[in-house]
Structure 1
Amino acid sequence: MRAKAIISYDGSRFHGFQSQKHTSKTVIGTLQKALKKTGIETKITGSGRTDRGVHATGQVIHFDLPPFWNDTQKLQSYLNRYLFPSILFKKIEIVSDDFHARYSAKRRAYRYIFSMDTPNPFSAQYITFLENFDYEKCKNAVKLFEGRHNFEYFKKEGSGVTNFERTIYKACIYRYKNYYILYFEADGFLRSQVRMMADFLFKIGRGDLTLKELAEQLSCKHQYSSTLAPPYGLYLCRVFY
């Protein structure tokens, strides 16, 4: 039986989502170890990778269950006891055998949380702290990302992807209490694309870059910025199927 699971995790505790040769301290590596203890040794596939330090509140994975695991609630309870507090299984359900966490996904959504409060060490791994940020400038700029664009100038090298066009269905910024949240929903994202977009918006908010320069980089006329926003404030929040 194929199982689909929605999980959340604290990215600050891992060296990224995907398995790596030189460390088992990845989300996949930790999940694989937990499943092995239950007699499940099948491959885990995620909807997408997240960088080191990036969090998730709605990551989706799939794996195949052996016949003796027909109680998904019991499995979920066991895994959550073992993985606490770094990973939480929010839901496990049986799906059709052709379901694929990555290739069946239609859209993905990320939130980036930041604040202009005085930085403190207790939230430094979960929120990005900024100074001298103009909310109204960012509010106007973020909408330029919506639509179909070639994001070749908004990606980190090394992904191996050759098609750089993506459609962003929704891009916005809003306030919640003392926090500012950037929200991006698209049919897919390139490697570190969200962090690069967020960093460009932060520079516009500080007055270092302009709307005109953002439009030119989106049109692949000139690359004004290639740096990344810190990973700490970024959350993969939902995958749509």
Structure 2
Amino acid sequence: MRIKAVISYDGSRFFGFQSQKHTNKTIQGYIKRALNRVGIDSKIVASGRTDTGVHATNQVIHFDIPKHWSDLEKLKNYLNRYLFPSIKIKNLYIVNDNFHARYWAKKRAYRYLIKINEPNPFEANYITFLNHLNLNKIEEAISLFEGEHDFKYFMKTGSETKSSKRKIYKSKLYQYKDLIIFYFEANGFLRSQIRMMVDFLIKIGKNELTKYQLLEQLQCKERYSTTLAPPYGLYLCKVIY
């Protein structure tokens, strides 16, 4: 049976989602070992890979299980016992055998969390702390990302992709209590694209760059910035099918 799982994880404890040769400390690796402990040997496919330090509140993966595992609640409890405290399986669903967590996804959404405050060591792995930002300037600039664009100037070099064009449906800034939140929803994202976009917006908020320079980089006329915002404030928060 093919299973769709909605999971959350603390990315600061791992070297990204994808399994790697030089380390076994990846989210995919931990989930695979947990599955092996209950007699399940299956390929694990995610809606998208998250980088080292990046979190997820609603990542979606799929894997296959033997039919005798009909009690999904029991399976979820067993797996969560092995995955605690860094990974949690929130829900398990039986889906069509053709379901594909990555290829069937229509939209993906991320949040990036910032606090204008003195750094707090207990939140340092989950929020980016800054001294000052002009939020009005960021709010004016962030909407420029909406629509379909060629994001080749907003992706990490060495990325393997057939096309660098992506469509962003929502790109907004809002505040919740003492948090400043960047929200992006798109049909897909390139490698490190969001962190590069957020870093550019932070520089606009610090008066180091302008929205006009952002527009020129978005139009692939000139590169003004290719540095990345820290990974710890970034969360994969929604996958839409």
- The within-5 A match list for 1:174-189 is 174-189=174-189
Partner of 2:198: 198
Partner of 1:164: 164
CA distance in 2: counterparts of 1:10 and 1:225, whole angstroms: 28
CA distance in 1: counterparts of 2:36 and 2:172, whole angstroms: 41
Shift of 1:109: 0.2
Shift of 1:159: 2.1
- The within-5 A match list for 1:54-73 is 54-73=54-73
* SS class of match (1:75): helix
2:109 is the counterpart of 1:109: yes
- The within-5 A match list for 1:86-235 is 86-235=86-235
CA distance in 1: counterparts of 2:27 and 2:158, whole angstroms: 21
Shift of 1:131: 1.6
- Specify the code of the residue in structure 1 equivalent to 2:117: D
Partner of 2:78: 78
2:72 is the counterpart of 1:37: no
CA distance in 2: counterparts of 1:129 and 1:166, whole angstroms: 29
CA distance in 1: counterparts of 2:118 and 2:217, whole angstroms: 32
CA deviation vs aligned residue, 1:17-65 (integer Å, no higher than 9, x gap): 0000011100000000000001000100000000000000010000001
CA distance in 2: counterparts of 1:141 and 1:88, whole angstroms: 36
CA distance in 1: counterparts of 2:227 and 2:118, whole angstroms: 24
Q: Mean alpha-carbon deviation: is it higher for 188-197 or for 73-82?
A: 73-82
Say whether the 8 Å CA contact 1:168–1:185 is kept in structure 2: yes
* SS class of match (1:129): strand
Shift of 1:118: 1.2
The list of structure 1 runs, each at least 4 consecutive aligned residues, that deviate by more than 4 angstroms after superposition, is none
CA distance in 1: counterparts of 2:31 and 2:147, whole angstroms: 36
CA distance in 2: counterparts of 1:147 and 1:32, whole angstroms: 37
Query: Which consecutive residues of structure 2, in runs of 5 or more, have no partner in the other structure?
Result: none
Say whether the 8 Å CA contact 1:117–1:178 is kept in structure 2: no
Query: What TM-score does the superposition give when structure 1 sets the normalisation length?
Result: 0.99
Q: Give the number of equivalent residue pairs.
A: 241
CA distance in 1: counterparts of 2:162 and 2:4, whole angstroms: 29
Partner of 1:7: 7
- Specify the code of the residue in structure 1 equivalent to 2:26: T
* SS class of match (1:118): coil
- Specify the code of the residue in structure 1 equivalent to 2:140: N
* SS class of match (1:58): strand
Say whether the 8 Å CA contact 2:118–2:131 is kept in structure 1: no
* SS class of match (1:28): helix
CA RMSD of aligned residues (A): 0.6
CA distance in 1: counterparts of 2:35 and 2:117, whole angstroms: 40
